[in-house]
Amino acid sequence: MNEQTYIRRMQMVSFGGALILLVLLVLAWTAGASGKEWRRVQKEQAEAVPGLETGIREIGLPGLGTTDRCVTCHPVLEDPRFDGNRPPLAAHPGAFLTDHPVDDYGCTVCHGGQGRALNKREAFAQDPGVHWPHPMLEQPFIQSSCGRCHLALFPGESGPSGDTLSGTGVLARGRDIFAREGCLGCHIARGVGGILGPDLTRQGEKTRHDYSFENVEGEQSISHWLKEHFRDPETVSPGSQMLKVDLAEEELDALATLVMGLSKPDMPLDYFSLEVLKEFKGTRHDLNGETAFQTLCSACHGKRGEGKDYATYRVGVPSLGNVDFQRLVSREYLRFTLEQGRSLRQMGTWSTDVSGLRSAETADLVGWLKYGIGRAVEAKPAESAEAGSDLYARHCATCHGDNGQGGIGVALNQDGLLHVATDDMLRTTLAQGRGNTAMPGWQLLGDEALDRLVAWVRTWGTYRHVFFPDLPEGREKEGSLLFHFSCSRCHGEFGEGGTGPAVVNRDFLAAAPDPFLVRTISEGRAHTAMFGWTSELVGGDRLDLQDLADLLAFLRARATEDPDYIHSGANPGSQDPGSLGYARLCAECHGNSGEGTRAPALNNQELLNAASNGYLLGTITLGRSGTPMPSWGYATTNRAALDPKERTDLVAFLRSWQKIRIPFPGTQEAGVSDELKNE
């Protein structure tokens, strides 16, 4: 075969192949354009409604990145004459197209499905054999599409659901469940939340091909995968740390709808509601303390702050609503823990740069944890019928001595105290306690019982009103120097307490009126190391009225400022005997090295930096009602009480575990805490 013959034959083969390919393309086009489902549908429609336009119709929406041919088979979507008809020859139900005209929105942006398809199987794309990433959505999950433009996770004052958009009740309910179940405690969405789970901000943009259905029985849809994952996260996603969500079927539907609606799609801005645009820009509504707790904390700490016990869970979670915790915990402790978290525990940091929680929101949350959640959990305090002397013997003598002579707590039978302390000051201290000290609040006894306690303490000394001249205007800086050189040797460098009590203490300074402070400084306390700075000294050390005013200004200023650290304060205990006591009484639950086994880990640097010696001592003394933690300050029929020395020794041993000092977070804005406290 010569070369010319070979070339001629190859040209004929190429021409024949091209002709065959052309025929196949024509046949494919003919198959798609004649005798197919869309033609059959249009033929049936033409018989029912003469004059309908025929042929393939499509809507191109480059701004939404879609082209829809759905109107080829659904030609009367915006014609009210066809209300109530069965699809496809039916008007769209409801008034949705009034604000969402088909020519501007198309169909698949809301309904999902394959918009270019011309038969039902491919258009719906719900068959796993049709490999399309966004199948047609059915009720109620179609409401997730509304979330793309209208879902505000942090609605304003209109309530948890905000102003529900018509037809999106399931989506709105999903948002309520999402908040109620505390999902943001582990997941971030729209810039706010925890760091233990994946960011959900764009979860709704995932396609079904982004999910593994290996461990999921039933239909291979995103909604079904999510519901099965909520029911049993570990089975669906081996290794998942997520807790099971115990919800009814319809609530699972709502939560799945909400998660599918979480997205930040690339769409023109005029498609979004104003609230959603603000959230995408980081301008959202603030969370108040109660809402912040439910949204961020309740998944772990319980919807009422009840926590999780160690007998049921591998790692328990403290009860923030526990009455004994509430009686002792300070705002500083709560805020420090929120900001720093707990290492080696699932309590992550809630600092602004990590969680997106704003300073004012942190303040409100601290206020709710201190003054709100206890009221939400506790029943009305029980009124005690005991006499004041019996109340004192039962509750107070373990720290203040049988006759008020003092011990762990200050001596209450001093004339120097009772002559200058008003009944209001005594009652406030009894009711609210002193944060960062071992003095708990006793409001749970009831108002009448507290009045009887005050009356009993008054039997040791009466208040004496003494006229004191007006003081000049105080100077904080000069007062600071005076405190450093004259007071810190007993009361601590930062007023945290030493041989003398903690005087730079918010609760103390809130309860103590100016005359109490001035008279105590001036007159001192008999039978203690506190002498009178105006009555018992002479010469250069003696304080004048200006000095008293300066000290008062310094103390009042410090009451409004956050400390640099939560100072541990004084403790007279000894570490070595404390270690023996710990091994005998505490190690079984808290672990030999304080690592926590059946009770919280005590050898934890964040805990030891948040908890003052007073807090530790108060916890040992009171215990935790409703938990296995006994009250070691009070004897029972089965257990003797620890004496003050044994308790302070335990504190000294626990403090020996602290290896680092962690600074207290920066200045906090005023929040709801003061409002709640003063209700």
| Higher per-residue pLDDT: 567 or 375 | 567
Average pLDDT (589-605) is: 94
Answer for the pair 60, 142: CB distance below 8 angstroms, yes or no: no
pLDDT digits (tens, 9 = 90+) for 218-260: 988 999 999 999 999 999 999 888 888 899 999 999 999 999 9
Spatial distance between the Cα atoms of 447 and 453, rounded to a whole number of angstroms: 10
Q: Work out the pLDDT band at 2, boundaries 50, 70, 90.
A: low
Average pLDDT (372-392) is: 77
Average pLDDT (486-506) is: 94
Average pLDDT (429-433) is: 95
Average pLDDT (113-126) is: 91
Answer for the pair 649, 578: CB distance below 8 angstroms, yes or no: yes
pLDDT reported for residue 156: 72
pLDDT reported for residue 157: 56
Average pLDDT (514-526) is: 93
Answer for the pair 595, 310: CB distance below 8 angstroms, yes or no: no
State yes or no: pLDDT of 487 exceeds 90: yes
Answer for the pair 564, 489: CB distance below 8 angstroms, yes or no: no
- Burial of residue 358, with CB atoms counted within 10 A of its CB: 0-12 exposed, 13-18 middle, 19 or more buried: middle
Average pLDDT (629-656) is: 96
| Higher per-residue pLDDT: 412 or 467 | 412
Three-state DSSP class for 394? Answer: helix
Nearest C-alpha neighbor of 494 from the set 424, 572, 570: 570
pLDDT reported for residue 1: 59
Pick from 45-54, 307-316, 328-337, 554-563: least confident: 307-316
pLDDT reported for residue 189: 95
pLDDT digits (tens, 9 = 90+) for 282-297: 889 999 999 999 999 9
Spatial distance between the Cα atoms of 334 and 368, rounded to a whole number of angstroms: 10
pLDDT digits (tens, 9 = 90+) for 97-115: 998 999 999 999 999 999 9
State yes or no: pLDDT of 541 exceeds 90: no
Average pLDDT (464-478) is: 90
Mean pLDDT of the chain: 89
Spatial distance between the Cα atoms of 349 and 32, rounded to a whole number of angstroms: 59
pLDDT reported for residue 159: 42
State yes or no: pLDDT of 35 exceeds 70: no
CA angle 38, 42, 46 (to 5 degrees): 175
Q: Work out the pLDDT band at 10, boundaries 50, 70, 90.
A: confident
Give 199-224 as a DSSP string: --TTGGG--GGGS--TT--S---HHH
Length of the chain measured in residues: 679
pLDDT digits (tens, 9 = 90+) for 77-91: 999 999 999 999 999
Three-state DSSP class for 149? Answer: helix
pLDDT digits (tens, 9 = 90+) for 47-76: 888 888 889 999 999 988 899 999 999 999
Pick from 126-135, 476-485, 623-632: least confident: 126-135
pLDDT reported for residue 536: 83
pLDDT reported for residue 243: 85
pLDDT reported for residue 29: 61
- Spell out the residues 6+ positions from residue 570 whose beta carbon is closer than 8 angstroms to its own: 492, 496, 497, 498, 499, 613
pTM: 0.86
Spatial distance between the Cα atoms of 55 and 61, rounded to a whole number of angstroms: 20
pLDDT reported for residue 629: 95
pLDDT reported for residue 298: 94
State yes or no: pLDDT of 621 exceeds 60: yes
HSE-CB for 421 with a 13 A CA cutoff: 26
Percent of the chain with pLDDT over 70: 94
Q: Work out the pLDDT band at 677, boundaries 50, 70, 90.
A: low
pLDDT reported for residue 30: 59
Distances (CA, A) of 535 to 132, 139, 290, 479, 542: 90, 83, 50, 19, 8
Average pLDDT (160-171) is: 70
State yes or no: pLDDT of 675 exceeds 50: no
State yes or no: pLDDT of 641 exceeds 70: yes
Average pLDDT (355-369) is: 94
Three-state DSSP class for 241? Answer: coil
Average pLDDT (411-432) is: 95
Pick from 106-120, 366-380, 403-417, 654-668: least confident: 366-380
pLDDT reported for residue 17: 77
Answer for the pair 190, 201: CB distance below 8 angstroms, yes or no: yes
Q: Work out the pLDDT band at 610, boundaries 50, 70, 90.
A: very high
Stretch (H or E) spanning 506: helix 506-511
Average pLDDT (177-201) is: 94
pLDDT reported for residue 671: 43
- Spell out the residues 6+ positions from residue 157 whose beta carbon is closer than 8 angstroms to its own: 285
pLDDT reported for residue 152: 92
State yes or no: pLDDT of 211 exceeds 60: yes
Stretch (H or E) spanning 576: helix 575-585
